[in-house]
Amino acid sequence: MIVVVAPGQGSQTPGFLAPWVEDPAAKHHLERLGEAAGLDLVELGTTADADTIRRTDVAQPLIVAAGLVALTALDRPVKAVAGHSVGEITAAVAAGVLDEEAGMRLIAVRGRAMAEAAASRPTGMAAVVGGDEAVVLARLEELGLVPANFNGGGQIVAAGDLPGIEALAAEPPAKTRVVPLQVAGAFHSPVMRPAVDALRDFAAALAPKDPSARLWTNADGSEVKDGTRFLELLVGQVASPVRWDRTMESFSAAGITGLIELAPAGTLTGLAKRALKGVPAVAVKTPADLAAAQDLIDRTA
């Protein structure tokens, strides 16, 4: 079983969509997705600077659109899918829970709502790599921080007020390395509760369908077969931890034989190499990576 995965915020870099829009069909696709989100995604994905695409209201639609463009270019049926954080909306579209327009409208609302929540006070996030989980969690509690992402492979992402993030980086837990993340706020923490309310109001008008492919949630790593339930979990998860560790455990239990990460790829394949040892993984960063991904699917069809 090949699982297609979609990355979360922070995976974008300036100009990362430039190789994709060289294909007129992909460029037109990105333009249509941008119209649904109310953004010029072609410009943002090719010429905008790092500060611009770091903005939450820009980064989130850009990441989802990149994944959808890569998914279309992959040109293979998707039988199993999951997304990390904002990538869950990419996954929802890939599994047929939402159509592309609804997905892009939803992510535009999500990005704006989370940006507004983040602006309420200075907050941030940092990845804690290595160490003993109990020791790491105790240090976060001591600093008034919360675990926002359990990424597996020995990585936990902390979220909270900036002084706490700075103190964590200055005095990390034993045997760990702390990497501050280039995000605008404490995502997947109680700081985001106002965004949940805004997103829930918008999502209430959508008409989700049950997934046509196997689909896992970040909430607890379980497989979800009801589209309405998946949308509910996706909304609530804005202010609760991402359990990517449990999602990967579910992949393993389901008999995963390969993993393909959609653009802007790299983060999730890196985690898979540590947590899903021996499972071949392809990061589709540019169109040049499509052939390897297609070959992986074709060999296991």
In CATH, what number is assigned to the domain containing residue 275?
3.40.366.10
Does residue 137 share a domain with residue 259?
no
The 3 state secondary structure assigned to the chain is CEEEEECCCCCCCCCCCCCHHHCHHHHHHHHHHHHHHCCCHHHHHHCCCHHHHHCHHHHHHHHHHHHHHHHHHHCCCCCEEEECCCHHHHHHHHCCCCCHHHHHHHHHHHHHHHHHHHCCCCEEEEEEEECCHHHHHHHHHHCCCEEEEEEECCEEEEEEEHHHHHHHHHCCCCCEEEEECCCCCCCCCHHHHHHHHHHHHHHCCCCCCCCCCEEECCCCCCECCCHHHHHHHHHHHHHCCEEHHHHHHHHHHCCCCEEEECCCCCHHHHHHHHHCCCCCEEECCCHHHHHHHHHHHHHHC
Please indicate, yes or no, whether residues 138 and 35 belong to a single structural domain of this protein.
no
Domain edge (last residue) among 180, 201, 226:
180
What would the pLDDT profile of 254-264 be if each residue is shown by its tens digit? 999 999 999 99
Question: What's the pLDDT score for residue 119?
Answer: 92
Measured CA to CA, the distance from residue 236 to residue 208 in angstroms comes to 16
Beta bridge partners of 158: 126, 147
Tokens 């501050």 label which residue? 180
Q: Which of 297, 275, 211 is nearest to 3 (CA)?
A: 297
- pLDDT recorded at residue 301: 62
Nearest CA among 212, 206, 213 for reference residue 232: 206
> Each residue's pLDDT tens digit in the chain (301 positions)?
999 999 998 889 999 999 999 999 999 999 999 999 999 999 999 999 999 999 999 999 999 999 999 999 999 999 999 999 999 999 999 999 999 999 999 999 999 999 999 999 999 999 999 999 999 999 999 999 999 999 998 899 999 999 999 999 999 999 999 999 878 899 999 999 999 999 999 999 999 999 999 999 999 999 999 999 999 999 999 999 999 999 999 999 999 999 999 999 999 999 999 899 999 999 999 999 999 999 999 988 6
Q: How many domains does the chain have?
A: 2
Question: Do 169 and 274 sit in the same domain of this protein?
Answer: no
Q: Which of 11, 29, 84, 188 is labelled catalytic? A: 188
β-pairing verdict for 80-83 and 214-215? parallel
Say if residue 168 is exposed, middle or buried (CB neighbours under 10 Å; 0-12, 13-18, 19+): buried
Known catalytic membership, residue 28:
no
Residue 47 sits in the same domain as residue 133: no
- Give catalytic status of residue 212 as yes or no: no
Among 91, 73, 81, smallest CA distance to 24 is for: 73
The answer on 289 and 195 residing in a single domain is: yes
* Shared-domain flag, residues 96 and 153: no
The pLDDT of residue 181 is 87
Which position among 29, 84, 85, 250 bears the catalytic label?
85
Question: Do 168 and 46 sit in the same domain of this protein?
Answer: no
Domain boundary among 180, 202, 227: 180
CATH classification of the domain holding 144: 3.30.70.250
Question: Dmax over Cα atoms in the chain, in whole Å?
Answer: 53
Residues of the domain holding 145: 123-180
For residue 264, say if its preceding peptide bond is cis, omega within 30 degrees of 0.
yes
